[in-house]
Structures are given as structure tokens and as C-alpha cells.
Structure 1
């Protein structure tokens, strides 16, 4: 009996298994109207609990219980649902779908922040801003950093002035953190950073960011800004978040050109400068027979400089201030000084020496670049994709004017009136990414390699090497080159499991590995750019190398590389339609400093309708860049109004060891966020997200350790003097600075984005949006080496008040963006006003200590300002459109810098006194009238423009 039952069971099992094998199946591909595949689209059998989603190649497959007629529905956010009937026979049936875009919602879809199905930004488990092509092109900003500064509330970036290489590459901040704490991706692949490390007195001092302006705006389809710690998902640098730039695919012919200039009134003058011309072109072609696409985009941008500098208020331009003789009466001294000054002013007028002798504003720049983005389908289950770009950028920025009185820095036989030195750069940026993705069994795979390179060549013009024999110095020098190269290889596996019934609805599993190689180089300049020719002015030695930017010496030259290996796992589970949970972990091992493990947990629960509560907790890290580990040079920097030779040494230098500082460590972060997101009444969307980020071992660029002096004489027993004398016994180098893990910070804030669309008719609507960010960064602790901690003077100089203000108050603590877009027939009116919150400058010397005898106003808080833009566009035909508008239409400027009335040098008719040197004057003797050490919104004033666009 048992044998008979066993036989019956085996026969039944065979019958069931056989039916499973021969069960009918339906398969196909889902693409958009242009033929580009759509991964993550939902495919459902109407009336049955059968469904799946498309893989990375847009392919789906469903096993059906029997042959027959079925209705199949395909849905994807941002596209119109498509439903078709199909008759399934006894063989595999193929049914492809094309989805049409819904113009209202397409721009909401994001892929960053999750390795599962793409979602809208309000459905994302973590906060993501989405910036569409329309947002990018609607206003006059042509640089990507400036576009983001006015569109994304948590993003901040401003052009710098008189800051060497930083004049040519804008440092940027996300959520109030540093330029190197945000990871930039292009099409989801890591983007290389710039070769420049910011060492001058700007926001982001000591950091290395990504040159976003090397990516042509014409090539961008959308920008996704992930405002959440994501090192566990994407690797080092993603402490503040991730910016993913998605390139265009299949697009019509598109051409646009614009021209504008500043039209501003400030300082009692009218300015017509900063002329900007821009032209771009893009086109994406779909290959026949669904074989893929290719998109080509180019852009050219020429931008002239602006100048908002003030008049040099130093009384004498050609001679040093006289001193009062011991037996000379005050009246006699005043009369003698008046005569000297009158002769000095007459000489300046005769020789054409203008007291407006600086160039304080944006630099001259020319930028030409192009990008390719493409995909070639290899059958139905695999595709080859690629993206590559090249950008060439030249720029010219000025330094500090060298007066004839600065005899150790000038050669009067060449420049009898002094000179304004120029730092001219040639920046080349290359990138190329190649990958293969498809199906490996039941898993989706993605194998890719991405290479990138950024080079910066420095040419110093209108300058001299003052140490060369009189009259022999060239006026132009090649000062050297910086290079950074990165190659990243990735292999990713992804699989989404769906379950019918039960508590668990779906589980997305992802694994991956990464191998990255970084290379950093410093190439020396020509010998005369750094050498000392031995010329003396009396008993004073003259400055070595090209003024404003001495060339890199052979001792500075280097070629350093490192590699790291990383592996991650990422699990995202959906429990019904209301609950989503995700966990991710990542291990990375670097060849130069060791390993790190980061993890992240996120969750989202749908409260009601389309309203969800979401939150995340993550650990993260940022590896010290090769630039921070190895950069070294000697440069001329101005401390107050005094030129000083500053030695920057890397952590392998014995000087750093004498300070007790060792090798750099990675920065470690812990972050949490909690927010609400959703849609109400189909037209109103909102996201509200609070965050808190703690970072320890944060890498800083130390304050300058200057030689100790007493009464103008070097103190032989001074610790800094003893250290510097080991490399510079002649005392030509005035101070030294280096990188170190010195501070612990906390950043807390909240982001709010509200949008509502009012539809009046099929051809008229109004879109209103409110976006805001409030954040605060606090330096919790400062920790130096045991030697630094044991010496109060060394501890005070490690991270002074000025450096603290760069972290705590140099970017706006809050920003509010109000935008209204009114579309009526062929007209479009766009008005935007952005409130930039206050920023605060702290002087390195504390004016709050009575013993210092300084006015408290040397610390200065710059009040919030509203900057308003307006544009009008007319769609003349389906092909042509015209736009005119103005940015900063009300010509708003930041507060002016405070001028200390005790500084007699700031009063041309006053008595030249010796009680106050002016070295603590924030205006540098009246030449800077608006803040440059802190970044609010720049100081170019009103900008008017016109634009013509053609699409066909």
C-alpha cells in the first residue's frame, strides 16, 4: 500500500513539475517614446496576482498558469499607463510596450539614493532634490555651480577673488559642510576631483572639491541632489550627500545662445562689465531597430572680469611714511608730511598710477567643452554604454598690487609705478566611462570602468622675479602644473525578488565591488619662476620667484599614487504598500592608511494617502585626499596688508614631525535624518527633512605659524623660529602651515521644499515653489598633537578664530528660495527671489579681549539679503523662443566691510600715525569694500541678459 502511494505521489510530483516547466510565459521590453528602455517599470496581469518589474535593460518575464487571453498593464512614475490585451499560446509570447511621458511628473523621477526601483523624489526613502533641464536653463546663470547656488537651498557656492587658483574653480558646500564632503557622480559613476587644493583665505580652505563647471550644462538632462550621508552606498566623500548628474539621451536638435553683462551702480559709480557670451548645442539620436542611442553636446562660455575694488587709501604710493624727528615739532612734521604727500600725489597723477589699482571681482574665463553619452544594445539582455567628456578652460585673475614702495618685491627699472600681477591658468579636464550591463542568470549585472583627469597649468604674467639683477627679470613665467588622475572599476549585482501574499512583498538585493587608483602630481616650473638671484635692497634680501605665485621648485615636484578596494551589500525590503526598510554596509581598504567600514539604515512608512514618514541613520568617512597628504609649496600671501612668504609642508616633511603631527587619518561621521514627504490633492508636493551630522578627526589646514618677533627682532628661542631655521636659516620664509586632523564638528539643520501647480486651462498654469534650508555648524573641540597641546602659543595658532569662522559662519546659515512660473499661451513669466542668510567673519586676533585694544567691529556679521531675478520668455514658434531678463534686478550688494577709524592710513588728509599699522583692517587699506573671506552671494550687482533658443 505504501509503495502504491509513493508511486502515485511521484507521478503527481512529475506532473506538477512538468507543468511548471511548460507553463506559458510572457516576455518583452518596456521603453519610452524615444525607444530608450525603462528599468523598474511595473508589469501586472490585470485581475490576477501576477506581476514583475523590468530589469536594468527594460526587459520583463512573467510565467503564466495556462494559455489564454490576458490583459497586461505597465506603469512607471512619470509616464502614462499602457494596457494591452494579448493571447498567450503554448510557446513563449513576446509583447513590447512604449510609454508616453506625462509632462507634469516626468521630472520627479530619481534613481539616486536607492539601488531598487526608481521613484519620485517624494517617494524616495531619503531626501533628494531634483533639478530638471528647465530649472537649469530658465535663468541667466551659465556655470553649474551658480545655477545650483540659486536653485538648491542646501547648496552654496560663490566665485572667489584674489585667491590664486581658487579664482578659477568655485568651492561648493552642501548642508554647510566642505567641498570635499560631497560625492559627485555622472550617470551614477564616480566623478574625479580637481587637481587644486584651496590654500588661500576662502571658504573651503584646505579642501579639494570637484570642478562642476567642467561639465557642460548643455549635456545635462537632470541633477539629483541626495541630501543624506551615503558613504555606505557610494563610498568615501559622501558625508554631506551625493550630487548625481544625469546626461541627456535621445533629444531633438537644440541650440541656444545668450549674452549679458553687469549693469550696476555701486561705490558711487556705474559698472558695465562682466560681459558673458554663451552658446551651446545638443542632439541625441536613436539607433535603428532599438539598438540604443548616442547624444552629443557642446558648450562655449566666455566671461569677462568684474571689478568692485575700492581706492587704495595708503597716503604715500612712492615713498614710505616719514617718522617724526625727536626734536621736530608736530606742526613742522605735519607740514613736512603734507609736502611729501603733495609731491607723491602729483607724481602718481603724472605717471597714471590710479588708486583703484586692484581687480576685485570675478576672473576672466573662457570655457569650451563637449560630452558624449551613448548606449548600444547587444541583443535583448545586454547593453554597452559609454560617456566621455573633454573641457578646456582658460582664466586670468589678479593678485595684490605691488606698489613702488614695496622695494623687495618690485624692479622699478621695469615697473616704475609698481604692477598688478596676473595668475593665468589653463585647465584641462578629461573623463571617459565604459560599461556593460545585462542579465546574469536571474541577476542584473553592471561592469564598468571610469577614468578622469584634471590638470591645471599656471602662467604668471605682468610680474617680475625681484631677486634677479636689476632690469633682467622676465615679466612672464611658467610656474608649474598640478595633475590629478583617477581610475575606478566597478562590478555591481542586483536582483529584485517579488512575493505573492505574505508580510514581505519584495526584497531587492545588491552586492558590488570597487577598485580605485588615484594619482597626484606636482610638476616644477621654469627655474626663474622660483629661483633667487641674490639682489639686495640695502641689507634686505629681495623675494624669490615670480611675484604673486612663485613657481613649484624641484623639491616640490612629486608623483604619488594609491589604490583602494571596496565591497558593499545593500538590502531593501518592501512590506506591503506602506513600509520600506533598507540596510547597507560598505568596507573599503586604502593602500596608504588602512580600512574603514560604514553602514546605513533607512526606513519609510506611508502614513496616509501619499504622505510618508522617512528617516535614516548612517556612519560615513572621507579619506584624506592625496592633495592633502602631499601638497607642498612656497607662496606669497597677504596677512592683513603685509606680503609674507608662506611655506606649506606635507605630513611627510620633518617640519611637521617637529610639531608632533603624524600622518593624516580619515574623517569619520555619524548622521541621522527624519522627515515627512508627500503629495496632497494631486498638485501640492512637500518634503521636510531634519538632519544632524557629527564628524570627528576633521582635516583642517592649520593657521599660519609665523616667526616670533619682539620689537621687530626675531626671537632666537622661539619654537617656530627654531623649527623653520632647520630649512631656512636666512629667515626668508615668514611662516609655515600644514594639514592635520584637528577638530570635531556638529552640523544640524532642516530642509523644506514645497511645490504647488495651479492649472487654469490647457495652455495656462502657475507653479509656485518654496525651498529653504537652515543649518548650523559648531566646532565642538580642537585637538592638536601632545607637543601642540603643551604649548599655549602653538595651540592658539593651530586653529584660530578666523579658521573657526570658515567652518561655522562663512556660508549662509539659512537660505530661502521663492519661485513663481506663470505660463500663458506662448508667454512664460518666471520670478524668483532668494534670501541669503547672514554670514560672520571673525578676525584672527580676538577683539573681545581688552588687552588687544581692538574695536569689536573687526568681527563683522553681514546681514541677510534678498536677491531677485525675473525673466520673460516668448515661444515664437515650435522651433524658436526668446528670453530676456535680469538677475539681481534690484542691484543688491552685501554689507560693506567695516573700516577702523583709528587706522590713520585710511584718511588721506589725516596724520600718519604709528599706533595702528592697518594690518587688521578688513578692507586691506580700502581696496576690499565687500566681504571675500566669507561667501554670501557675491558682489557683481545687477546682470541683464537676452537668450535665443532653437529646438527642432
Structure 2
């Protein structure tokens, strides 16, 4: 018993003796110009014992005499300094040669990473500091303003797309860029974009499900990489590397709002890093964000709000100016009496509240054989609220006046749940690095519709809220990879060999909404022959019907081989091949050849040739629903059917019985050919420049067709008795060619007592539709079906709807505890094109093409000032879009005056000719949005772990 009581005393004595043997090391950390550097992390290597420098750059840390100090700061090279019994150590930081020369791992499976200017393909590297320094707070917006080849803008009145930003790389679609997390495939969103937005018909990855606080850096590979990573990597790859080397607590809080006083943002995030005694790491990150809506809508110019029963226009009986004048006077009196606000839309960013967290863990189980276990797991929930189009009180098929006597603005409420987990083992055996992993991801979106009704119910009894259904996508990917570097292979300087296999299982589900959200209860609005019926289902978003519900799965297996060799000291060559087989459409083989050659010690040329593919997503293969969509300002019940539906696949034979169809072929993979050629150079000691040109040819590109209307006799026969007015579907409808050039230059230099960082980055691209792939049924129709499959508005979305150029100029100056960051981004021109050809009946002097509009390029400037107030606390204030720049406004009334139309409210203002939705839509969202200026303040707290 006495021995047991002695054990704690002995342990305390041992610990006390060890602590007594520690020494206190003090010193200052300075930059390369001798200025004090606050906030620098000083850590005892292999432990969680650390501190950070104060405002004078001083630190103090108790460590063993034999310890090694690790000194790190953003923008500087990490240094390891042996203590060797010293009690005073001053440190002079050394700048990284350039942020773009950071070692990257994306685009190569070599065992050793290369700096960006030494790779065979261009890779942008965005550090954690760049993510935090400006006002943007979600990943898609951060990349939009930092990486010129990346573009994303928030959409409005586009159903689920209001809540999941469509994004593109090099001017291609959201589903033509592959997203990785820690080098592992990230699952896509459950949402397929079916409304009239950029990325229409595509299924992208929701980048905003990953908290900023968890990100160590983002690597953007701007080159086709399907041969290396598989489907989707036609435009390139975005690899998000999570933090794995932090200690202590880093937290930040951001508040801000737009110059207009809306769009208020509250965001807080934190990262806790724990070192595991030199054997591993544990990083926990979390984020909360609450974002208010913005509204930049205009005034509704509809002549009539309450009277007329004709969606804002005069009825046919008001066929003289006197009758219109009297009706207008009566209606204006009702507007005044009821206090009706003609600013009746909500156009801007949606409301969003986000909770999320990530864990990144690794531990060496057996260091002698390199056996390491790792786990990366994340979960996020985001709730959102966005408006649809206002239902006027005179739209009698859509409004119940006993519930909404003044009409109503319906809302789509979404709840997005996203979960993922990566688990795996790494080891070394027979000279190979072996990586066995499993990646699971799931994205689910629930739709609840509020402030709405089902107008087909009897008067006065409709609920005003409906559950409209849920969509969900799940993906599970298993990988086994082998990598080895050989240094003595015949005449080769080095040879890196990588090979492996993959098995992936995908699942897509649609769950039906409650009955009232989709049912047609048959209320007759106007008796007659035929009678006029009220619209069925929840206004703005009819729920998914039981016939829409589905549960579809597929799997694929893949094998790859990747070789990379320094043939000589000047020549690097890479060769990759990949074969895949999908259970639902067949096989694909892709390959890539890439090389880099040093023509001078600091100058090299690089290039790549590859073919790639993108498999049709399950959402594109099987999605079906009926929705209310506003086409040229008029509401339509639009049926979206899957490609497997007989409406799409069957041929059309006049007079035949049975289901007729459009005769469109089954969906197959898109196939691409990628070509790139570039130049890299080091400028002086601390700068670099890269110039890369590219061409991407895509065959059988999958798009969502334009809407086929019952006004066409063939379409009317195909739709039969279905209660819809239009139909659309997915098809391999077009071949495209994208050409462009990326330019990135970076320079770091001392300027006076501080340091100046300069970056110039630009992307110029052009996409052209080279061919439309139709069907015999569509080609045989002589009434315009060929123009409907892929109309000029759809063509415009691919070719001109996003900026064809973007230029980023960034300057950062640091001096002592202060730093100033300025950035201006030029968003190139975009265009709107009307879907229709020719002129409307009875108006030969007016051409629909006159509605087309080009929106000029604009510069958007951000400015921030940061101060390291103490060694634990930093403060940043600034503004995004400091000069409050907006896109060009839509034309108020683009019609030729010779057509005898005007905005005179006494005339029959035909909104179907007006792409501005009666003056309410003011701005095009596809350049940089239209929130205007946004000012913010951010507090950053850094609390290193100490013993």
C-alpha cells in the first residue's frame, strides 16, 4: 500500500525535475528589413507547446535545452532552429519566393510536390491568409475574386439555384470542374439547375458547405485531368486542402452590411489545432453564418393591379383609349386605397443561415513502416429563404382573394444538409506508398413553400404553407493507390510510378411532397366552353408528385496508371491513362501527355494533350417534375422529364397510336479534347510569371433543352392530356469549343520600411457552339422545333452569359503591425439574348433580337486595412466594391418606337415582349451580382497552446 501511495509522489517529482531542466528562451522576430513582426507562431517541434510574438515581435517560451523551435508566419518560409541550450534567439524571417511558388500536389501523383512554376500544368494556390483578408466569406465568392479563371454569381428567383451558387472554371459548366477535399473526390449537390440561369441543366458541387476556418489552402488546377481523377475534370480540378498543422485556437468574427443597409452579415468561425506529440494532428473547425437578403428590384409597370383579370394588362374589352383611361383610374384608386406597393419583387441574394463543422485527423500507428490512419469528416446545415414572382390580385387563376386580397409574394424555403467522411490508412511496403481510403458524401435539399396557396382548392380553404418534397444525392468512393519514386531506371533521371483502382457508388432520390403541394383540385375560375381552371399545386414551386419520386443508383469501377519522369534535368514528362466502366451507360478510356522543358535556368515551356469525359449525372438522367416557370414574363406549367421517358425517346409518327416522342437518343458521356501550351519564368528572386493558352473541344455536351410549347402541333400531340403547357428534357445536344489564355504574374519586394506584394492575374476565354445534335423527329418538323431544342437564349448562356475576360490587380503593403490590401477586378462584358427569332405577329417592324443587350465590363474594387493590435488579437476593416459599382441596367423598354408600343400605361403593355419583367428586374446578375458596396469589420483571435 505504501508503494502505491509513493507512485504519485514519484511521478510529481519526475515531472518537476523535467520542468526544472527546461530553460526559458526569449527573443524577437523581425522581417527581412528588420521590422518587428507581431503574431508570428513560435512552437516547440513535435509538441503543442507554443506562443506567438507580441506587438514588438518579442516572444518567451519554456522548452528543454535540446528542443527545436519552429517559427512560422503567413507569407514567410517556415524555419526550424535548434535551441542547443541558448536562452536568447532572435529570428529574421525570410520571404517565400512567391505565393504562386508554393509546393502543390494537385495534378500530379508524384511522391514529392513541385512548386507551381515547375509543374506541367498551371495551378493557382490560394492561402488561408488570402481567404481571410477581404470581405468575401464563402468559398465560391472568394475564388471568384481571387482566381480569374473561376466565376460564380448569386442568382435570384431561380428556385433551388438561389441557395446553391452555380460556378464555372475557364468558362465551362459547373459540372465540368472536379472538386477534391484533401485529394479525395467531393460529392456533388443534389440540385440540378432547371431554371434560366448560368449553368442551366448542370449539377455542380456546393463549395459553400466547407467552413473557411478549416481550409489550409485551395489549389486550382487549370487543365483537363480526367485521365488522372476521372469524370468531371474537363475544365480542371479544385482541391481544398484542410488544416493539418495548426496548434491552439484561431477564431474570427465578421460583421457587415451593404451600402443600402440590407444584406447584413454575421459570421463567426474557429479552428482548434492539437499536436499529437509529433505522431499526428487533430484540427476541429466550425462556422456559423447568418446572411440577410438584399433587394434591388424596380417598380412594377403593369397598367392594372386589381382589375382586368389579365395579369396586369388591359382586357380585350378595353379597346379604346377612353375605356383604358377609365379602367386605369379605377385601378389606381384601389392601389391608393389599399396602400399597394408596386415594388413587389425581392431580387437579390437569398436569406441564408449556415451551421457547419469539419474534423481533420491523422495519427501514425507505426512510424517505422509509415502506417498512418486518417479521418476527415464534416457536417453542415444551411437554411435559406428566397422569393418567387409576385402574384397580382387580378391573376385570378393563381390567387384566392379571400386569402390574399392584395396578391402575394411566395417564398421557397430550403434546408440543405450535407455530410461527408473520409477515412483511410497510409503505409509503406516494398518501396511503395500505399493509400487505402473510403469517401462517403451526402447532400439533401428539403423544400418548404410559404406565403403561398393551391389556387385549385375551393375558395378560402387553401393552406398557405406546404412541404414540397426532398431531393438527395449520395456518393461512396473507395480507392486503393500505389506510388513509388525510382531513381535508377535506365537512362531516366527519376521515374515516379502511380497506379490504383476505384469503385464508386452513386444514389439519387426524389421524395414527394404533401398532397396539397401538387394536387389539382379542379376549381373552375371562369365557366364556359372550355372552362378556365385555377392553377394546381403550391404557387411558385409545385411539390414533387408521387410519379416524380424515385430511388436510382449506379456504380462504376476504374483503374489508372500515372507515370512522371525527369527525363533529364531540363525535361519533365508525364503520362497518364484511365479506364472506367459505368453500370448505366458503358465504358470510357482517357489519357494525358504533359511535359515541361527548361529553355533557360529560369524560363520553361510546358504543355499538355489529353482527352477527357464527363459522365451524365444521375440527376440529369432521372430528374422529373412539374414547375411554374416564368417564360418571357408569363407563367407556364413546365414539365421536366427524364431522358428515359417515352416522351423523349419514342419517335413521332403522324396518326400513330401510343405515346409519341421526340426521338432523342439515350444520354451518354460528354467527351473532350484538351490542348494547352504555356510559358513559366522566374522574375528576379521573388517573382514569377506564367502564361498558359488552352483549347477545349467538347462533343455531345449535355444540356437541358429549351421549352417545347403546346402551340406547336407536334408538341401538342406528344403531350396529349398532360396538364402542362411546355416540356423540356436533357440531351447530348451540342458540341462546343472553348479557347482562352491565363496570365499570372507575382512580385514581392521591399518598399521603404515595409514589404510590397503585387499580383496581376487575368483570364480571357471564348466558347462557341459548333454543332447542334438533333433527332430525326425534330429535324423533320418544319415549324421550328430545331430552334427550340437549343434556342438562341440557350446558346447565349453558353457563349456570352458569363464574363469572357477577367483581370485581377492586387497590391498588399505591410509595415509593422499594419497591412493594407487593395484589389480591383475587371469583370468582362456579358450579353443577354432573347430566345425567339423573327418578329411577333402583327409587328413586322419589331425584331425580337432588338431585346438583346450587352452589359459593359466593370471594375470592382476592394480595400482592407488590418492591424495586429496585440499578439493575440488582429482587427480588419474594409469594404468590398468600395465605389458601389453596379452592372448596367436592363433596357426599360427595348422595343422599336416604330412598332407603336411604349411604356404609356394607357396602352396595352404586353409583358411577354419585355425581358425586364415589367420593369422590376433592373440588373443582370451574371457579372458580379448586384448588391453594390459592402463594408465590414473582422476580429481575429489567435491563442496558441502552451504547457
TM-score past 0.5 threshold: yes
Does the 8 A contact of 1:636 with 1:646 survive in 2? yes
Does the 8 A contact of 2:498 with 2:562 survive in 1? yes
Q: For 2:624 and 2:578, how far apart are their aligned partners in 1?
A: 33
- Cα 1:374–1:102 change in 2 (3 A) is farther
Alignment match, 2:747: 756
Alignment match, 1:227: 222
Q: For 1:81 and 1:537, how far apart are their aligned partners in 2?
A: 78
Structure 1 residue 681 displacement after superposition? 1.0
- Cα 1:765–1:83 change in 2 (3 A) is closer
Indicate whether 1:109 and 2:97 are aligned: no
Does the 8 A contact of 1:315 with 1:905 survive in 2? no
Does the 8 A contact of 2:846 with 2:895 survive in 1? no
Indicate whether 1:805 and 2:796 are aligned: yes
Q: For 1:644 and 1:394, how far apart are their aligned partners in 2?
A: 28
Alignment match, 1:376: 363
Q: For 2:78 and 2:292, how far apart are their aligned partners in 1?
A: 46
Q: For 1:101 and 1:746, how far apart are their aligned partners in 2?
A: 47
Q: Which has the higher contact order (CA 8 A, sep 6+)?
A: 2
Match for residue 487 of structure 1 among 460, 466, 476: 476
Structure 1 residue 852 displacement after superposition? 7.4
Where do residues 558-597 of structure 1 align in structure 2 (5 Å cutoff)? 558-597=550-589
Indicate whether 1:690 and 2:693 are aligned: yes
- 1:759-803: CA deviation from partner (whole Å, max 9, x where unpaired): 247x62000110000000000000111211222422111000000
Query: Could you say what secondary structure the match of 1:361 adopts?
Result: coil
Query: Could you say what secondary structure the match of 1:306 adopts?
Result: coil
Alignment match, 1:625: 617
Q: For 2:492 and 2:439, how far apart are their aligned partners in 1?
A: 37
Q: For 2:534 and 2:665, how far apart are their aligned partners in 1?
A: 34
Match for residue 675 of structure 1 among 660, 675, 678: 678
- 1:321-346: CA deviation from partner (whole Å, max 9, x where unpaired): 54576xx9x8xx43332232222122
Q: For 1:101 and 1:492, how far apart are their aligned partners in 2?
A: 38
Indicate whether 1:510 and 2:478 are aligned: no
Alignment match, 1:922: 915
Alignment match, 1:867: 860
Structure 1 residue 678 displacement after superposition? 2.5
Q: For 2:770 and 2:322, how far apart are their aligned partners in 1?
A: 55
- 1:687-744: CA deviation from partner (whole Å, max 9, x where unpaired): 11000000000001000000116xxxxxxxx10000001x51xxx3110000000100
Q: For 1:317 and 1:907, how far apart are their aligned partners in 2?
A: 19
- Cα 1:889–1:573 change in 2 (3 A) is same
Q: For 1:530 and 1:341, how far apart are their aligned partners in 2?
A: 36
Alignment match, 1:170: 165
Q: For 2:44 and 2:750, how far apart are their aligned partners in 1?
A: 25
Q: For 2:633 and 2:223, how far apart are their aligned partners in 1?
A: 41
Structure 1 residue 102 displacement after superposition? 5.6
Structure 1 residue 79 displacement after superposition? 5.5
Number of residues of Structure 1 aligned to a counterpart in Structure 2 = 838
Does the 8 A contact of 2:466 with 2:538 survive in 1? yes
Alignment match, 2:907: 912
Alignment match, 2:142: 147
Q: For 1:316 and 1:297, how far apart are their aligned partners in 2?
A: 54
Match for residue 459 of structure 2 among 470, 493, 501: 470
Query: Could you say what secondary structure the match of 2:325 adopts?
Result: helix
Query: Could you say what secondary structure the match of 2:648 adopts?
Result: helix
- Cα 1:686–1:527 change in 2 (3 A) is same
Structure 1 residue 910 displacement after superposition? 4.0
Q: For 2:544 and 2:292, how far apart are their aligned partners in 1?
A: 28
Alignment match, 2:724: 733
Alignment match, 1:784: 774
Structure 1 residue 679 displacement after superposition? 1.2
Indicate whether 1:194 and 2:197 are aligned: no
Alignment match, 2:869: 876
Where do residues 760-839 of structure 1 align in structure 2 (5 Å cutoff)? 760=751, 764-792=754-782, 793-839=784-830
Match for residue 442 of structure 1 among 431, 436, 453: 431
Alignment match, 1:451: 440
Q: Which moved more, 1:336-345 or 1:627-636?
A: 336-345
Q: For 2:916 and 2:314, how far apart are their aligned partners in 1?
A: 23
Query: Could you say what secondary structure the match of 1:512 adopts?
Result: strand
- Cα 1:831–1:509 change in 2 (3 A) is same
- Cα 1:313–1:112 change in 2 (3 A) is same
Alignment match, 1:52: none
Alignment match, 1:652: 644
Q: For 2:538 and 2:780, how far apart are their aligned partners in 1?
A: 39
Does the 8 A contact of 2:98 with 2:686 survive in 1? no
Indicate whether 1:366 and 2:353 are aligned: yes
- 1:360-406: CA deviation from partner (whole Å, max 9, x where unpaired): 00000001100000101011121001100000000000000000111
Alignment match, 1:615: 607
Structure 1 residue 758 displacement after superposition? 1.0
Unaligned runs of 5+ in 1: 1-31, 37-76, 85-98, 264-270, 710-717
TM-score, normalised with respect to structure 2: 0.86
- Cα 1:158–1:479 change in 2 (3 A) is same
- Cα 1:201–1:323 change in 2 (3 A) is closer
Alignment match, 2:26: none
Query: Could you say what secondary structure the match of 1:742 adopts?
Result: strand
Q: For 1:373 and 1:106, how far apart are their aligned partners in 2?
A: 27
Query: Could you say what secondary structure the match of 2:156 adopts?
Result: coil
- 1:582-638: CA deviation from partner (whole Å, max 9, x where unpaired): 100000000000000000000001121222111000100000000000000000000
Structure 1 residue 680 displacement after superposition? 1.9
Alignment match, 1:26: none
Indicate whether 1:277 and 2:266 are aligned: yes
Does the 8 A contact of 2:303 with 2:314 survive in 1? no
Q: For 1:852 and 1:170, how far apart are their aligned partners in 2?
A: 40
Structure 1 residue 922 displacement after superposition? 1.3
Structure 1 residue 106 displacement after superposition? 8.4
Query: Could you say what secondary structure the match of 1:719 adopts?
Result: helix
Unaligned runs of 5+ in 2: 1-42, 48-74, 83-90, 650-660
Structure 1 residue 208 displacement after superposition? 0.0
Q: For 1:323 and 1:280, how far apart are their aligned partners in 2?
A: 56
Where do residues 223-262 of structure 1 align in structure 2 (5 Å cutoff)? 223-251=218-246, 252-262=248-258
Q: For 1:385 and 1:217, how far apart are their aligned partners in 2?
A: 21
Q: For 2:584 and 2:77, how far apart are their aligned partners in 1?
A: 48
Does the 8 A contact of 1:215 with 1:369 survive in 2? yes
Q: For 2:44 and 2:673, how far apart are their aligned partners in 1?
A: 43
Query: Could you say what secondary structure the match of 2:121 adopts?
Result: coil
Q: For 2:850 and 2:805, how far apart are their aligned partners in 1?
A: 23
Match for residue 880 of structure 2 among 873, 883, 887: 887
Where do residues 10-21 of structure 1 align in structure 2 (5 Å cutoff)? none
Does the 8 A contact of 2:98 with 2:746 survive in 1? no
Does the 8 A contact of 2:254 with 2:938 survive in 1? yes
CA RMSD of aligned residues (A): 2.3
Q: For 1:851 and 1:568, how far apart are their aligned partners in 2?
A: 60
Alignment match, 1:425: 414
Q: For 1:103 and 1:851, how far apart are their aligned partners in 2?
A: 68
- Cα 1:364–1:642 change in 2 (3 A) is same
Query: Could you say what secondary structure the match of 2:912 adopts?
Result: coil
Alignment match, 2:449: 460
Q: For 1:755 and 1:664, how far apart are their aligned partners in 2?
A: 44
Structure 1 residue 846 displacement after superposition? 2.9
Does the 8 A contact of 2:688 with 2:746 survive in 1? yes
